[in-house]
Amino acid sequence: MFNSNLPESELLKALLEPLLEDFNYWFDRSAKLLETEEIPFLSDEDQSDLLARVKQAQQEVGAAKALFQATGGQVGIETAALMPWHTLLAESWQVSVRFRSLQLARPGK
């Protein structure tokens, strides 16, 4: 649990830094899946579109992280900017879960 007596900048750093790391991690995993696997329930166009959106989000998260670090944790991120990333991650997770389920269901695996 976070100490509510922390100065605002320390609280921001304690919350935002790990969140940005999580976004980086999950977007990286999503990009690797979409780049290396043929997802049978997505058209080539849909898979390319999802990959492009993931890569765009990776760049946005990277820019936010760089700005956050360059300012010593003094800059926050609006919730409105975080929500599209969260929504995209949820979409990517659904694709991943469905893809993994199909792999497990295949005979001989």
> pLDDT digits over 33-77, tens only?
999 999 999 999 999 999 999 999 999 999 999 999 898 888 888
- For the stretch 2-20, pLDDT in tens is 445 556 778 788 889 999 9
pLDDT of residue 28: 98
Report the 10 Å Cβ neighbour count for 23: 22
Residue 31 to residue 47: CA distance in whole angstroms: 10
pLDDT of residue 64: 94
- Cβ pair 51, 35 in contact under 8 A: yes
- Cβ pair 28, 62 in contact under 8 A: no
pLDDT of residue 22: 97
Token pair for 62? 């990277």
Confidence bin at 109 (pLDDT 50/70/90): low
* Helix, strand, or coil (residue 4): coil
CA angle 32, 36, 38 (to 5 degrees): 125
Residue 103 to residue 109: CA distance in whole angstroms: 7
